[in-house]
Amino acid sequence: MDIYVGSISFKWEDKKLREVFEAYGEVESAKIIIDKITRQNKGFGFVTMPNDEEAKAAIKALNNAEMDERKIIVIKSDPFKAGNLDKDKKKKKPYKPDSKDFKPFKGIGKKR
């Protein structure tokens, strides 16, 4: 199961995130998202746990838990709820001016 972990301390590294979740079971991967420019963590990450029961126990125990003076957010990660990845929506087609009402913008004022 993929798990989203938010509001984590900016001091944390992947190793710390893994250690926190290993207390609840096997962790396949733990990754904190890093800003490309500043090279500082963005305050959130993702954990993958192969056993769903262990993952649910970790989510229940760690959600809203206080760590390093911050309440962390721990929820099941669902990529299809992330805006543009909605599986029920089709890709938007580009606008084509087929309509008789279409009038292209001609600028401000008249040419003399």
Establish if 98 belongs to a structural domain: no
Q: What pLDDT score was predicted for residue 85?
A: 47
Q: Is the pLDDT of residue 108 over 80?
A: no
Establish if 47 belongs to a structural domain: yes
Establish if 43 belongs to a structural domain: yes
How far apart CA 40 and CA 42 sit, in angstroms, is: 6
Establish if 101 belongs to a structural domain: no
Q: What pLDDT score was predicted for residue 60?
A: 96
Establish if 56 belongs to a structural domain: yes
Report helix, strand or coil for 29: strand
Each residue's pLDDT tens digit, 15-34: 999 999 999 999 999 999 99
Q: At 3, which helix (H) or strand (E)?
A: strand 2-6
CATH code, domain with 48:
3.30.70.330
Q: How many domains does the chain have?
A: 1
- Note the pTM of the prediction, 2 decimals: 0.70
Establish if 69 belongs to a structural domain: yes
Establish if 23 belongs to a structural domain: yes
Single-letter amino acid code for the residue at 54: E
Each residue's pLDDT tens digit, 35-92: 999 999 999 999 999 999 999 999 999 999 999 999 999 999 987 665 544 455 555 6
How far apart CA 84 and CA 25 sit, in angstroms, is: 32
Q: At 45, which helix (H) or strand (E)?
A: strand 41-48
For residue 51 the two structure tokens come to: 């056993």
Establish if 55 belongs to a structural domain: yes
Average pLDDT over every residue of 83-110: 59
Range of the domain at 48: 2-78
